[in-house]
A = this chain, B = another copy of it.
């Protein structure tokens, strides 16, 4: 159901001829039919942020958006003033169709960096998508397909609150790393919420979900997560429940990104336990998630705890205090490292499941954190070396 699961939203996905893949759906349109048009957003912190990020960050600043236009087939990043004018023209076209100000339209793009979009195709695609807007399963599904690039499957979420709903879609497969770990994500709700409450929920939710996945250590220029509220349910949610559902939606979509990481054969959960603080735990988790050597070992089905410890050992003492001789590591439940040295034999670890669980016990405190990554495979290199440029 994707973004149309929440009441008050319609969506479409069309073949606009932006992507080099003939016949691929490559333009999505998501419209908030109200009565509210409340919105919040978080964006990449990359200093070379793309034109659509610059446009959309300004558009959502007042807490209101009527619609979002998203395209695959081109990132419109590092394209200077002409690129910014393309995002502006796209918003203008959608605004004209909907009878709202240009600043009520967010624009998101994904694809190759450094090339302008075929603007005439984009604008014609906006018209076509407008004519195909649908508030049912079809519209939401088409939109989720249209934003895919190297993704192998659409990624959506649908959650029921107490009298209101949250839906969402995301795309992301490569160039995934904090901050912010996704490419394009739109989450919708029919709850009656204020932009301020939405921004708080979204910032808190993304910080422990999208910002804790890392498929390849590479931060994108185009990452965007938008939360739109139509208020169509008429229900004012309990704030705690709403925050929790937004976090769950982010967690589900982030997990789906890891599950579809470029070339991945294993999804790797890395949980750090017994740290002196959550930040310390996070730093340790990120260090392991960034290790190409460990990620290669997992793709070869070896629970190589030496590569876990050698990555853990790069975290400075002042960031994460712990005693190396007290560190234990379980992989898929088997304690293969005990007290910083050899534990049970690694042949006892069953590495056949797609999901691999790494639990590191620092035995230094009570804080913990979990990050997710993928293994590093031949296929990842193939996708990112042997593509057509």
List residues of chain A with CB under 8 Å of any chain B CB: 45-49, 75, 77-80, 83, 112-115, 174-175, 216-221, 290-293, 296-297, 299-300, 302, 304-307, 309-315, 317, 324-325, 337, 339-342, 346, 376-378, 380-387, 389
Contacts and interface: CB of A to CB of B under 8 A. Distances in A.
B309 A389 contact: no
Given A300-B385, A378-B382, 16 more contacts: A47-B312, A48-B310, A48-B313, A78-B305, A79-B342, A83-B341, A112-B306, A114-B341, A114-B342, A115-B342, A175-B293, A221-B306, A297-B389, A300-B384, A300-B386, A302-B387
Nearest to A80: B341
B292 A219 contact: no
B218 A78 contact: no
A264 to B, nearest CB: 12
Nearest to A311: B218
A221 B307 CA distance: 10
24 contacts: A46-B314, A47-B312, A47-B313, A47-B317, A48-B312, A77-B310, A78-B309, A78-B342, A83-B341, A113-B306, A113-B309, A114-B337, A114-B342, A115-B342, A174-B293, A175-B293, A217-B290, A218-B291, A219-B314, A293-B384, A300-B386, A376-B381, A376-B385, A377-B385
A145 to B, nearest CB: 24
A306 B339 contact: no
B216 A337 contact: no
A340 B49 CA distance: 11
Contacts of A310: 46, 48, 77, 113, 175, 218-221
A339 to B, nearest CB: 7
Nearest to A343: B114
Contacts of A174: 293
Nearest 3 Cβ contacts at the A-B interface: A113-B306, A300-B385, A296-B384
Given A310-B48, A313-B47, A340 B221 contact: no
Contacts of A341: 78-80, 83, 114
A276 to B, nearest CB: 14
A378 B221 CA distance: 26
Nearest to A323: B47
